[in-house]
Structure 1
């Protein structure tokens, strides 16, 4: 007979929960965000306006939101997973019906105080709802096709709406994050093989009827970036020049020529890592990636220490999302994959993207604080 000595962390006071928060992770998040403020200051040629000051304000609000989320019982987040998913789905539908158009895409909805991009929030909400669905699922459950139909629909609906905006990068992130959770939940590899084969078969139809002209141009530019260096290949060509010109130690803070002479496009958003590489070189870039690696390590450790499946899957999903942000953005600016417009979290300028990332970190911290909460196989436990 074994004796359960675990602590029900759901019954802790606010002070006790604050003591359980991983403040070293909070410090690491703040450190990375501070590097982002410095790069946005540099992007504006040594001015806090228009980007750095606003990003600092957004991060401050996001930090408060993150800590509030961390203190809320993880069982409540489990209970709210489906309602929150439904709300974000309504917002996505609202974007397609009457959203604001910017840079050729309809991705934002005006809420008065903020221009909200629901697809960024869906990245976190989809992880939550899949973690809720697979909580308590056995390997036998994950092996049955009927059991997998509902989560496939939960993934397919937002992906279809995001593709219609159009937003290929976010659609791919939703699919890959969902695929990771399916795998972590015990879905057999042969099912992924069947799905990949179906995708390969559908590539010609997707190319002809789904992708927009600019998306096809990006793929063709990726395959032959020198075919139109002053047109569709301009972004990636300038990015490679700036990336390589930084050398080992970089040109110094505020001294990047490609960015400050305005050769580098979108230097405050998608290509901000290129500017960092030009100013701080290979050494600075590797140090920055090391900090991101530490955040990913924190995510995996928190997932490993959690005693309930919902928390494990939620922490792993948030961590996979962070990795996808990083990998896609860095690979994109280096010309390893086509340009798909994925920001670098905590660094790129953006309101909803920053909020979405901070919500994800809040859920990760909540998993850590409530790692020993007792949950039944299907139920919520005592809330």
Structure 2
């Protein structure tokens, strides 16, 4: 039997591969995700006012999302790299379609509707298409990136971010931008350039403020002092912090939260579901969820660090850092540490497109890890 350069026969290699390696899934990461999803469905049942139909719909979406994750895990990073431009172009085209004929909801034009099939938010898809495109561009260039490469990245980032901000959806536009910025940072950007770009971003804040909608400005001002409008713009943050504080250390018990069950807490099954968690399960329950998220992020970053291709390493690292930012921003805004920007809690808050996008990202992460080459130890 022929042997490779390491002195190992192909047959022995195939026999030593575990079941999980053959299907390109990481069992520990998958276990952590399933625990989070099941726990999240329990919290969602309470947050939705014991609406079993809503929980079942969310469960079906998770099943679809898990299927998408498994399918993407079978694709090689090379295939994903070839599809990056097409995915980016499709995403931008759908954002333009939203601008022209998007469906309105809660004062924003963010959705596309396929009659009789689905209603989805194209901006969510850009959370994957954006870092894929930037990683594909930089992986073909000398690293660390040069000035021209950064200019191209700025254009690639700016077009969809501006389209999303016009919907308006400032929170998602910032997260999409961050997903690409992480790729650039991981490509080895020097600290001097990082400092320069940070200074430019700080200088652009007044311009951003002047172009924000009135309700977005009210959110920032309310963050600084919620009591200025306790029955209006400050209502959400006052009720969420009250709910979290009333839970104490051990919480009031599942389905026993008064702020949520009596409907004082707004958006309790979406953006403010952390407040339900804190009220019913207390500090201990919130810490348990945060530890679970931390384990997922650590495991994901470990898998990303093992990637041997530049494209895969940049993309996988960006996916996990962006996932961390989702959790950080949601918990921060619900607890009053950050302005309210409408970011759901990953894999816990109610939502279809976001669930599929998040688990698709984990599928890409597992693909990158599974396709690593065998190297001598």
Alignment TM class, shorter chain as reference = over 0.9
CA 1:19–1:67 in 2, change beyond 3 Å: closer, same or farther? Answer: closer
Deviation at 1:61, TM superposition (A): 0.7
Q: Distance in 1 between matches of 2:330 and 2:9?
A: 41
**Which residue does 1:79 correspond to in 2?**
82
* Number of equivalences: 366
Q: Distance in 2 between matches of 1:109 and 1:351?
A: 13
Q: Unaligned stretches of 5+ in structure 1?
A: 375-383
Deviation at 1:166, TM superposition (A): 0.6
Q: Tell me, what secondary structure is at the counterpart of 2:90?
A: helix
CA contact (8 A) 2:20 2:26 kept: no
CA contact (8 A) 1:159 1:175 kept: yes
**Which residue does 1:116 correspond to in 2?**
120
Q: Mapping of 1:201-240 within 5 angstroms?
A: 201-208=203-210, 210-240=211-241
CA 1:237–1:117 in 2, change beyond 3 Å: closer, same or farther? Answer: same
CA 1:79–1:266 in 2, change beyond 3 Å: closer, same or farther? Answer: same
TM-score by length of 2: 0.92
Deviations 1:261-303 (A, max 9, x none): 0010000000001101111110111011111011101111111
Is the deviation greater in 256-265 or in 176-185? 176-185
Q: Distance in 2 between matches of 1:349 and 1:326?
A: 15
Is the deviation greater in 364-373 or in 91-100? 364-373
TM-score by length of 1: 0.91
Q: Tell me, what secondary structure is at the counterpart of 1:125?
A: helix
Q: Tell me, what secondary structure is at the counterpart of 2:178?
A: helix
Q: Unaligned stretches of 5+ in structure 2?
A: none
- Matching residue within 167, 170, 173 for 2:172: 170
CA contact (8 A) 2:24 2:366 kept: no
CA 1:373–1:349 in 2, change beyond 3 Å: closer, same or farther? Answer: farther
Q: Mapping of 1:1-383 within 5 angstroms?
A: 17-49=21-53, 51-112=54-115, 113-139=117-143, 142=145, 144-208=146-210, 210-372=211-373
Deviations 1:326-372 (A, max 9, x none): 00000000111110000111001011111110111110111121122
CA 1:40–1:249 in 2, change beyond 3 Å: closer, same or farther? Answer: same
Q: Distance in 2 between matches of 1:207 and 1:169?
A: 14
Deviations 1:210-255 (A, max 9, x none): 1001000001101111111111000000000001111001100000
